[in-house]
Amino acid sequence: MTTALPEVAAIYTALVDALLPGDADFPPASAVGTQAWLLEKLREHRPSGDIEQVVITLGGESFLAGAAEARAAAVSRFEREQPELFGFVLRAVYFGYYQSPLVTQAIRALGHDYNDAPQPKGYVVEPFDPEANLPKHSKPFYIPTDKMTRVDMSAINMEA
């Protein structure tokens, strides 16, 4: 790898923040360690050269020198030129980000009852309500075995 390791780490930090920059409710991705998760998943699931390929496609150290708009343009170029690799990176970033306890906390702060992990708590849900959870308008039917007859197929094209 021609780019120095500190710069690689900085590029991945800048990349995840370009993807998920944070707002008043959510932290930026780098604040919850998404860049480390992304590198781990690239190492686990992708060919060995992909970590460097991402750096090269983003423009290497020049990616770090750019402002937010320039970084977004570089990421757009990455998305356009390497769609399969970019798709993996984006999925890994989204999964990694939304599993962070700081992000699940942010989701809860929006008013959603959302757990850090499905268990052990699970969820307490409103009970089954036969008034609301059964149909009000329907004409259901089924054909009993002894009532089954041949249907008229003359209007059906089975070839196309």
Partner 1 sequence: MTVKRYDPVDVLVIGSGMGGAAATKILAEAGLRVVCLEQGRWSQEYGHPHNSPDWEWQRTHGRWHTAPNVRRLPEDYPVDTRDEEPLMWNGVGGSTTHYTATWPRYRPSDFVKGREHGFSPDWPLTYEDLEPYYEINDRDVGTSGYAGDPGRPPRKGFSTPPLSPNPYGKVVAKGLDKLGWHWWMMDMAVISQDHDGRKACNYCGNCQSGCNRGSLADVSVTHWPKAIRAGAELRTNARVEKIETDASGRATGAVYIDMRTGARYFQAADVVIVAANGIGTPRLLFLSENAQFPDGLANQSGLVGKNLMHHGLALVEMWVESITNTYQNVVSAAYIIEEFSETDVARGFINGVTLHVVRMNGAGYQAAGSHTGNVAPWGVGHHAWFKRHFAHGVCILVVGEDLPLEENRVTLSDTLKDSSGLPAPKVEYRLHPNDRKIVDFGIDRALDLSKSLGAFETKVNRFVNPEGKYAPGAWHLLGTCRMGDDPQTSVVNRWQQAWDVPNLYIMDGSPMVTSAAVNPTSTIGAITVRAASYLRDHFAQARTAKRTTKSGVGNR
Interface positions, 113-152, toward partner 1 (CB under 8 A): 113-130, 132-145, 148-152
Give me 40's structure tokens: 């781990």
Spatial neighbors of 51 by CB under 8 A, at least 6 apart, are 1, 8, 39, 42, 43
Q: Which of residues 24-53 bind partner 1 (CB under 8 A)?
A: 25-26, 41, 45
Q: By C-beta, is 6 or 127 nearer to partner 1?
A: 127
For residue 92, give the amino acid letter. A
Q: By C-beta, is 5 or 124 nearer to partner 1?
A: 124
What is the separation, in whole angstroms, between the first and last Cα of the chain? 55
Burial of residue 41, with CB atoms counted within 10 A of its CB: 0-12 exposed, 13-18 middle, 19 or more buried? middle
Minimum distance, C-beta of residue 4 to partner 1, in the bound complex (Å): 26
Q: By C-beta, is 81 or 113 nearer to partner 1?
A: 113
Minimum distance, C-beta of residue 157 to partner 1, in the bound complex (Å): 8
DSSP string spanning 91-118?
A: HHHHHHHHTSHHHHHHHHHTT----SSS
Q: By C-beta, is 1 or 116 nearer to partner 1?
A: 116
At 129 the three-state DSSP class reads: coil
At 44 the three-state DSSP class reads: helix
Q: By C-beta, is 48 or 138 nearer to partner 1?
A: 138
Minimum distance, C-beta of residue 58 to partner 1, in the bound complex (Å): 14
Q: Using the rule CB under 8 A, is 80 a contact of partner 1?
A: no
User: Of 3, 7, 10, 21, which lies in the binding site for partner 1, with binding defined by CB under 8 A?
Assistant: 21
